[in-house]
Structure 1
Amino acid sequence: MKMKTAPMGWNSWDCYGAAVTEDIVRRNAEFMAEHLKEYGWEYIVVDIQWYEPYAATNEYHPFADVVMDEYGRLLPAVNRFPSAANGAGFGPLAEYVHSLGLKFGIHIMRGIPRQAVHQNTKIMNSDRHAREIAKTNSICAWNTDMYGVDPEKDGAREYYNSIFELYASWGVDFIKCDDIARELPHEESELIMLSKALHGCGRPMVLSLSPGPALLEKAELYKQISNMWRITDDFWDKWELLYDMFSRAEKWCTHAGAGHWPDADMLPVGPIRQVYDVNNWTNFTQDEQITMLTLWSIMRSPLMLGGELTGFDEFTMNLVTNSEILAMHANARHSHQVWRREIDGIEHALWIAADTKGGYYVAVFNLGDKDSDISIPLADLEIYDGVNGTELWSGEHVEEQKSLSVSLKSHGARAYHFTYN
């Protein structure tokens, strides 16, 4: 599936862990449709363990019973997703999300349910059974729901075909597949098999690989078989994690391209924390949130909101509906770090990207613990003639000049769009 821009949406994990319910998904979809869709936000993604009736937090229940059909295919727990009753699965919920002009996604784990293997369920469109295709020594280190699938066994491809056939029948537009991005090279053949099944199911779907950090030496494989892949483990609202992202972004930014993007993970903004409480606000300062959105946007990472959308305050809404920043996210090309250095004892980073509509995007970051005032020669950016520009967060006009004077808050950022006169 070739997309021109990296996906933008909402995922239930940061706020609800494994405990999200249908009413929560519906209200966030309604909010997105009313307030965010016009800015490009469009995916509503249900994260992990939607098939577990008693999931209540981000803590997994070891070896919990799961809901599945006779072919070992996982189904939504009806007590949490009532519209899934009578075998409807996620079809009715996806239809509702689509009626709002949005797209619907789900999280899955690599492999086949252990419960299906223990019960030795049939494999759809095959004379094989679950025990014959399971790779029981291939297990997730942090979740007990699944065994891996052995691609060398007859029936393995049929199993993966059957689950994506089911997801297509539900109207799923986005698959976040977990326990796979950093499992290479051991599970590379299973990943390739999964990708072929998804792309052969007859319905276009985004394929997102988790968790990270993905392996840089496998970048070309990720680009050929998926749309996005995590370059980090779970990203939370801690400055040290955001600071670390600059090194990851520098390594991965050159691999962003048509239909495939390194994924810096979700945006923990607004009210977050599993399980949701309106008082559990992001620990990022406002300047750190601006830095995060600026870096994610210039490097073209997918943008997936993690907070309860209906609890967003004015600052958060302004943050995620800044049309100029989102235009940079859509139109930046060939993004890269120009330099990262200390200026007057404070660490700074400078990034640049070409704009498909002409000119350049430039981002300046203060990675230090003090405010700073710096002057950046435009020659550092190989801009030798006079340009005019706009600072994208404030809207301030930048007159023709040979250097850029920037005032930055600690952990803050400024982003510019420059065009030639």
Structure 2
Amino acid sequence: MNKKIVLLCVLALLNTGIVAQKTKDVWLDDLPIKSFSEGIPAVLPKTNAAGDSMKIKGIYYIHGVGVNSTSVLAFYLNGMATEFSATVGVDDRGIKNLPHKFYVIGDKKILFESGEMRWGDTPKDVNLNVQGIKQLGLLVLVDMDINKTYSNWANAKFKMKDNALPQTLPNSNEKYILTPLPDKKPKINSAKIFGVRPGNPFLYTIAASGEQPIYFTVENLPEGLSVNPKTGIITGQLGQKGTYKVNLKAKNAVGEAQKELRIIVGDTIALTPPIGWNGWNSWAKNIDRAKVIASADAMVKMGLSQHGWTYINIDDAWQGQRGGTLNAIQPNEKFPKFKEMVDYIHGLGLKVGVYSTPMITSYAGYIGGSSDFENGKITDSIINNKRAFRYIGKYRFEQNDAHQMAAWGVDYLKYDWRIDVNAAERMSVALKNSGRDIVYSISNSAPFSHASDWARLTNTFRTGPDIRDSWLSLYHSAFTLDKWAPFGGRGHWLDPDMMILGNVTTGSALHPTRLTPDEQYSHVSLFSLLAAPLLIGCPIEQLDAFTLNLLTNDEVIEINQDPLGKSARLVSAENGVQIWLKPLEDGSFALGIFNIAEFGKTPQSYFRWGDEQPINYALEFNRIGLKGKYKLRDAWQQKDLGIFDKSFQTTINHHGVILLKVFPVK
């Protein structure tokens, strides 16, 4: 037969699908599976989510992916897969009688649904034709408030055409900027209230935006304090309890600004939520002195400090051995000249935080605040078997460590363990007796049953697990906090964890956040409404214009830092829209209207499909307890919208927000 005719015949057969294209098996556990996960706890290849052998009803599997709690795995196939297969079930280490549901969803259609499965049930096989499917999602639904649920996608694999591989979902939505650039005239952006304990060192920086240089003065500054006119850094000491009202002034070549500050000398510090940076989601265990100093320098050079961003917090992995004159935790080799580093950061007008734990070892495997040895030392065998020593030892060193932090000039402590009241109180007392005001933040997943204890003992308390850069994680971390709201307030703030903006390392290598731009606006809005700590979790020097704009809107930050200190409450949740309302000190309100798009109501709602549309929404004032006329101001656009009577019409993007300041009109 003529070669040309043979070729034409082969092409014709390919077009009709009679001759199959070349395919290959791609095991999910051979992919960088963490980068596909939008769940909160760990997802692990070739093991269950506890890191042990994968076993369902006594049968071991060498291939597969182990997940925990509600799990979302999202794959972009772009029509390059032909089959998906797996065996699903609850791992033998799972919880008895807890229902799990497995789903496979392709381009919004449910391709497989397991029904309820429990520990001990026979696993179910999945064999699906996925020809032509662009996006495929693997979902496990289980109670998100229960840990160690352990579900398995055993033997999970794709058949992929040619040499194609599944990809992570593209996040190419336009990064639209809403907030206008700051004026050249000076504007003071510091919090309006500041707390300090009597006799303790005082450090407060007047944050001001505008054309540089800016010069600072303070009227009615009480005796014992002084201000540096070039930096706006106020230092000194106040011995008497009481409230001092001072007038901050900032002046440059274009104009001047002023703002009243109330200094309250008493028993309570952190009168507004801490606002700054934490190094874990930037560098994890790779943090070192140079990265910390670079972050502090970037806080100033990028202009964040002009908008009130203050804390530079070192997370886990700075700790060395116990020693020194106080037999306290000393820095490891990555942090030489620790006190010199702290002094340098203070010289920039910023504050410094560190990490510790009451356990023998931290989660990253470094020395903690207790030991089974009287001298508190940690041995190589303990370090090499760190997971076995995540408990509180016989000997405790809270006083040693608190006094060492105070001697260095530390301003913030993140204390991380399986939270209990006794350990929380011991460190609380030690910090208060250290001679320095050290903001006390406990982590993670504080039990709600002891919410009043966390409010009594700490300055911030983590309300949930470690956050991930996904809508599922953000929703679980922040949109479910209404029940916690009564326990947040001046000196004791609800903490949903770090912010998941910019480039982050949450569960995989440094990568741009997977939140869409709309989700990022919602993220910053809700954290501000909740009066949550604002801790940037990305390398500051890598901020792009969009993310920097998100973090430097003074009207949004002012909502977070409002002196009244009230957390927003969820006042309406219907038809896929949540409304959160926060009272402010001046008698106005901050109001967030969030399009959550019925998230969690259907299996499809756990995934982003790329065709989501905005909604039109009518806000009825009386339905959220507001009566009369109100002047509305768009906080993100910093623009007055007018006076409205009874209702307000708007459009909200998918997973987006309209953030308003609401002023009663008499």
TM-score normalized by the length of structure 2: 0.52
Name the structure 1 match of 2:308.
Answer: 40
Q: Distance in 1 between matches of 2:289 and 2:532?
A: 28
Q: What residue number does 1:390 align with?
A: 633
Does the aligned pair in 1 maintain the 2:527–2:533 contact within 8 Å?
yes
Distance 1:308 1:349, change over 3 A: same
In the other structure, the counterpart of 1:136 is: none
Higher helix share: 1
How many correspondences in the alignment?
Answer: 369
1:25 counterpart letter in structure 2: V
Which secondary structure state, in structure 2, belongs to the residue aligned with residue 420 of structure 1? strand
Provide the C-alpha distance between the structure 2 equivalents of 1:194 and 1:395, rounded to a whole number of angstroms: 42
Counterpart of 2:341, as a letter, is L
Cα distance in 2 for partners of 1:339, 1:274 equals 31
Q: Do residues 292 (structure 1) and 523 (structure 2) align?
A: yes
2:486 matched to which residue of 1?
254
Q: 1:322 aligns with which of 525, 549, 553?
A: 553
Question: Which residue in 2 is equivalent to 1:281?
Answer: 512
**Inter-partner Cα distance in structure 2 for 1:24 and 1:246:** 29
CA distance in 2, matches of 1:115, 1:352: 43
Aligned twin of 2:286: 19
Deviation, 1:67, is: 2.7
Residue of structure 1 in register with 2:412 after alignment: 174
1:238 aligned partner: 470
Contact 1:333 1:355 in 2 (8 A): yes
Aligned equivalents of 2:547 and 2:305: distance in 1? Answer: 15
Tell me what 2:237 maps to: none
Contact 2:494-2:532 at 8 Å conserved across structures:
yes
Equivalent residue, structure 1, for 2:503: 271
Q: Residue type of the partner of 2:589?
A: Y
Q: How does 1:295-374 map to 2 (within 5 A)?
A: 295-331=526-562, 333=566, 335-342=568-575, 347-368=576-597, 369-374=612-617
Structure 2 CA distance, aligned partners of 1:329 and 1:211? Answer: 22
- 1:381 corresponds to which letter in structure 2? I
* Structure 2: segments with no counterpart, 5+ residues: 1-267, 379-384, 598-611
Cα gap change, 1:387/1:201 in structure 2, threshold over 3 Å: closer, same or farther? same
**Paired residue secondary structure (1:207):** strand
Deviation at residue 270 of structure 1 after TM alignment:
0.9
Asked if the contact 2:467/2:477 (under 8 Å) is kept, the reply is: no
What's 1:419 paired with? Answer: 663
The whole-number CA distance in structure 2 between the counterparts of 1:327 and 1:16 is 29
After superposition, where does 1:46-65 map in structure 2 within 5 Å? Answer: 46-51=314-319
Which of 400, 405, 420 is residue 162 of structure 1 equivalent to?
400
Q: Distance in 2 between matches of 1:349 and 1:209?
A: 28
Measure the CA separation in 2 of the matches of 1:355 and 1:274.
33
Deviation at 1:74, TM superposition (A): 2.1
Q: Assess if the C-alpha contact under 8 Å between 1:352 and 1:360 holds in 2.
A: yes
Cα shift at 1:255: 1.5
Shift of 1:115: 7.3
SS of aligned partner of 2:519: helix
Residues of 2 paired with 1:27 and 1:322: CA distance? 23
Of 306-315 and 26-35, deviating more is 26-35
Measured after TM superposition, the shift of residue 112 of structure 1 is: 4.4
* Counterpart-to-counterpart distance in 1, 2:295 and 2:589: 35
* CA RMSD across the alignment: 2.6
User: In the alignment, is residue 68 of structure 1 matched against residue 336 of structure 2?
Assistant: no
Q: Distance between the aligned counterparts of 2:367 and 2:539, measured in 1?
A: 33
- CA deviations 1:36-89 (Å, max 9, x no partner) are 1121110000000212xxxxxxxxxxxxxx4332675321112x1232xxxxxx
Letter matched to residue 271 of structure 2: K
- Asked if the contact 1:17–1:275 (Cα under 8 Å) also holds between the matched residues in 2, the reply is no
Shift of 1:353: 1.2
Deviation at 1:119, TM superposition (A): 8.9
Per-residue CA deviations over 1:74-116 (Å, capped at 9, x if unaligned) read: 21112x1232xxxxxx311111110100000001011446979
CA drift of 1:411 comes to 0.6
1:134 maps to: none
Q: Which residue among 348, 351, 357 is the counterpart of 1:100?
A: 348
Aligned to 1:54: none
Task: Pick the structure with greater CA Rg.
Answer: 2
Residue 246 of structure 1: how far off its partner (Å)? 4.5
SS at match of 2:480: helix
SS in 2 for 1:317: helix
Contact 2:465 2:477 in 1 (8 A): no
**Match of 1:55?**
none
Matched AA of 1:76: P
Higher relative contact order (CA 8 A, sep 6+): 1
Name the counterpart of 1:110. Answer: 358
Tell whether 2:380 aligns with 1:380: no
Gaps of 5+ in 1: 52-65, 84-89, 124-129, 132-140
- Paired residue type of 2:426: M
Alpha-carbon shift at residue 261 of structure 1 (Å): 0.6
CA contact (8 A) 1:250 1:337 kept: yes
Q: Which amino acid aligns with 1:238?
A: S
CA contact (8 A) 1:180 1:191 kept: no
Residues 115 and 197 (structure 1), Cα distance of their counterparts in 2 relative to 1, 3 Å cut: closer
Distance of aligned partners of 1:19 and 1:400 in 2 relative to their CA distance in 1, 3 Å threshold: same
- Residues 275 and 310, structure 2, Cα contact 8 Å, conserved in 1: yes
Pick aligned residue for 2:335 from 75, 81, 90: 81
Query: Distance in 1 between the 2:528 and 2:506 partners?
Result: 26
Rounded to whole Å, the distance in 1 between the matches of 2:367 and 2:633 is 57
Letter in 2 for 1:7: P
Structure 2 counterpart of 1:77, one-letter code: N
CA contact under 8 A between 2:469 and 2:506: conserved in structure 1? no
The secondary structure found in structure 2 opposite 1:176 is strand
Counterpart-to-counterpart distance in 1, 2:411 and 2:595: 38
CA distance in 2, matches of 1:361, 1:236: 26
Q: Output the CA distance in 2 between the equivalents of 1:231 and 1:119.
A: 30
Tell me if the contact between 2:529 and 2:567 (Cα under 8 Å) persists in the aligned partners: no
Q: Which moved more, 1:170-179 or 1:389-398?
A: 389-398
Structure 1 residue 122: Cα displacement: 3.3
**Change beyond 3 A, Cα 1:306–1:144:** farther
Deviations 1:364-408 (A, max 9, x none): 000015411110111123222111111111233222222111211
Q: Of the candidates 186, 195, 207, which is equivalent to residue 428 of structure 2?
A: 195
Q: Residue 75 of structure 1 aligns to a residue in which SS?
A: strand
User: Helix, strand or coil: the match of 1:394?
Assistant: coil
Percent of aligned pairs with the same amino acid: 25
- Is the 8 Å Cα contact of residues 502 and 544 (structure 2) preserved in structure 1? yes
